[in-house]
C-alpha cells in the first residue's frame, strides 16, 4: 500500500480525532439533559460523570507514548478508535448512571491514546515544513465530530441511545481505516529500553513545556463549564428546546475549524499573542451565553466563538509543544494535553456545584473571569521570543 501523503494523513488523522475527541468525549454535554431526565441524574452527579472522561484521559495519555512504542503506530491507532466504539456502545446501552459513567470512562481512554499516536504518525509520514499545519488540521478534527452530533440530535432529539449507537458504528469504521492506512512499523522496538525520549531534553525545553502545561490547566478548567453545562444552561435557564442545542453544537464544530490555523497563528504572531487571543475569545463565549440565555442567536454566536477559541488553544498546545520538543513528537504533547484534562477534571464538578448553588449565569460569568485571568498570565509567561522552537518571521 502506498504511503500516506500529507493530505491523506491530515484526512485520516482528522477522522480519528473526530471520533475519539468529538463524539466520544465532547458530545456528552449535548445529550446530558435527556440523560438526566431518563436516568435521574442530579447536577452534581452530572458534573462528576462529566469529569470521568477527562480523568481517564489523564491516565491514558501518560501511557500513550509507551503504548505507541510497544504496539506501533497502526495498532495504537486501531486501539484508540476501537475503545471509542466500546465506550460509545456502553453509553448507548446504559441502564443506570453507573454504567453510563463506565462508558464515558472508556471513551476518555480512547481520547488519551489518539493525540500522541497521531502526532507520531505525522512525524513518520509528513515533511518537517508541513508538520505544524498537518498537526493543527488533525487537532481541528474534533470540530468535525462535534458537528456530526447536530443531525444526530435533530433525528434523535430525546433518543440519545440511538445517537450513541450510530456514533459507535462510526468508531468501528474509524478503527478499520486506521488498520488499513496508518503506517506500519518496520520493526518492533525493544522493551528493554525504559526511556521514552530518545534524545536528551534541555532545561529550557522542560521549562517551555512546563509553562504550556500550567496555562493548559487553567484553560481546561474554564472550558469544562461550557462542555458539560452549556446545553443545560440554555434549556434550563433560557427555555430553548433540546433540538436547538443541536444547532449550537454545529456552531461549535464550525467555529472550531479555525483551530486548523493554530500553527500559522503561532508563526505569524508568536506564542504569547496567539494564546491570549484564544482565551479571550473563549471567555467572551462563556459570558455571551448567559447574558440572555433564551436568545437563540446569541447562543449560536457564543457556541461559534467557544469552538474557535477552544480548538485554537488545543491546537496551540499541540503544535507549540512539538516545536519545543521536535524529536519527541509522541511525548511532547502529553504534558500540555494532560494538564488540559487535569483542569477539566477539576472544573467539571466545580461547575456542577456552582450551577446547583448559584445558577448558570453566575457560574459562567465566574468561569469567564477566570479565563481572562489565565489569558493575562499567559501573556507574561509566553512573551519570550527567544524561547526554543519559535522564531519571528
DSSP for 374-390 reads HHHHHHHHT--TTSTT-
| Mean pLDDT calculated for residue range 336-340 | 87
pLDDT digits (tens, 9 = 90+) for 197-234: 555 667 888 888 899 999 999 999 999 999 888 988 89
Percent share of the chain, pLDDT over 70:
92
Instruction: Give the Cβ contact number of residue 5 at 10 Å.
Output: 11
Percent share of the chain, pLDDT over 90:
38
pLDDT digits (tens, 9 = 90+) for 133-182: 898 889 888 888 888 777 877 777 678 898 899 999 999 999 999 999 99
- By the 10 Å C-beta count (0-12 exposed, 13-18 middle, 19+ buried), 157 is classed as middle
pLDDT digits (tens, 9 = 90+) for 267-304: 888 889 999 999 999 999 999 999 988 899 999 999 99
What is the assigned CATH class of domain 201-384?
mainly alpha
Q: How far apart are CA 292 and CA 298, in angstroms?
A: 7
Mean pLDDT of the chain: 85
Instruction: Give the Cβ contact number of residue 207 at 10 Å.
Output: 15
pLDDT score of 323:
85
Q: How far apart are CA 252 and CA 237, in angstroms?
A: 20
DSSP for 228-277 reads HHHHHHHHHTT---HHHHHHHHHHHHHHHGGGGGHHHHHHHH-HHHHHHH
Q: How far apart are CA 250 and CA 252, in angstroms?
A: 5
pLDDT band at 388 (very low <50, low <70, confident <90, very high): very low
**8 A C-beta contact, residue 338 and residue 125:** no
**8 A C-beta contact, residue 248 and residue 300:** yes
In terms of CATH, what superfamily is 1-185?
MFS general substrate transporter like domains (1.20.1250.20)
Model-level pTM? 0.78
The residues of the chain that CATH labels 1.20.1250.20 are 1-185, 201-384
pLDDT score of 371:
95
pLDDT score of 387:
47
Amino acid at each position: 500500500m502506498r504511503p500516506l501523503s500529507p493530505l491523506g494523513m491530515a484526512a485520516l488523522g482528522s477522522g480519528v480525532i473526530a471520533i475519539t475527541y468529538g463524539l466520544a468525549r465532547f458530545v456528552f454535554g449535548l445529550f446530558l439533559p435527556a440523560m438526566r431526565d431518563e436516568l435521574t441524574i442530579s447536577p452534581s452527579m452530572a458534573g462528576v460523570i462529566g469529569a470521568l472522561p477527562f480523568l481517564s484521559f489523564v491516565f491514558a495519555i501518560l501511557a500513550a507514548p509507551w503504548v505507541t512504542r510497544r504496539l506501533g503506530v497502526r495498532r495504537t491507532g486501531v486501539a484508540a478508535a476501537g475503545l471509542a466504539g466500546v465506550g460509545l456502545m456502553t453509553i448507548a446501552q446504559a441502564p443506570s448512571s453507573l454504567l453510563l459513567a463506565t462508558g464515558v470512562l472508556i471513551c476518555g481512554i480512547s481520547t488519551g491514546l489518539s493525540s500522541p499516536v497521531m502526532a507520531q504518525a505525522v512525524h513518520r509520514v509528513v515533511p518537517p515544513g508541513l508538520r505544524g499545519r498537518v498537526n493543527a488540521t488533525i487537532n481541528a478534527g474534533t470540530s468535525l465530530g462535534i458537528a456530526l452530533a447536530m443531525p444526530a440530535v435533530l433525528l434523535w432529539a430525546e433518543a440519545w441511545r440511538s445517537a450513541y449507537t450510530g456514533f459507535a458504528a462510526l468508531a468501528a469504521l474509524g478503527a478499520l481505516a486506521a488498520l488499513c492506512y496508518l503506517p506500519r512499523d518496520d520493526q518492533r522496538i525493544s522493551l528493554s529500553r525504559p526511556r521514552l525520549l530518545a534524545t536528551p531534553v534541555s532545561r529550557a525545553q522542560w521549562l517551555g513545556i512546563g509553562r504550556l502545561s500550567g496555562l493548559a490547566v487553567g484553560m481546561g478548567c474554564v472550558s469544562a463549564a461550557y462542555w458539560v453545562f452549556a446545553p443545560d444552561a440554555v434549556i434550563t435557564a433560557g427555555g430553548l428546546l433540546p433540538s436547538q442545542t443541536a444547532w449550537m453544537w454545529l456552531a461549535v464544530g464550525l467555529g472550531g475549524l479555525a483551530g486548523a490555523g493554530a500553527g500559522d497563528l503561532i508563526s505569524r504572531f508568536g506564542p504569547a499573542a496567539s494564546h491570549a487571543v484564544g482565551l479571550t475569545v473563549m471567555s467572551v463565549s462563556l459570558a455571551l451565553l448567559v447574558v440572555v440565555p433564551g436568545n437563540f442567536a446569541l447562543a449560536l454566536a457564543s457556541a461559534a466563538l467557544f469552538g474557535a477559541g477552544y480548538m485554537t488553544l488545543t491546537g496551540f498546545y499541540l503544535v507549540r509543544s512539538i516545536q519545543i520538543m521536535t524529536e519527541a513528537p509522541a511525548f511532547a504533547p502529553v504534558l500540555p494535553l494532560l494538564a488540559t484534562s487535569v483542569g477539566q477534571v477539576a472544573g467539571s464538578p466545580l461547575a456542577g456545584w456552582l450551577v446547583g448553588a448559584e445558577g448558570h449565569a453566575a457560574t459562567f460569568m465566574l468561569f469567564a473571569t477566570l479565563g481572562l485571568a489565565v489569558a493575562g498570565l499567559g501573556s507574561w509567561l509566553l512573551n519570550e521570543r527567544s524561547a526554543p522552537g519559535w522564531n519571528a518571521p
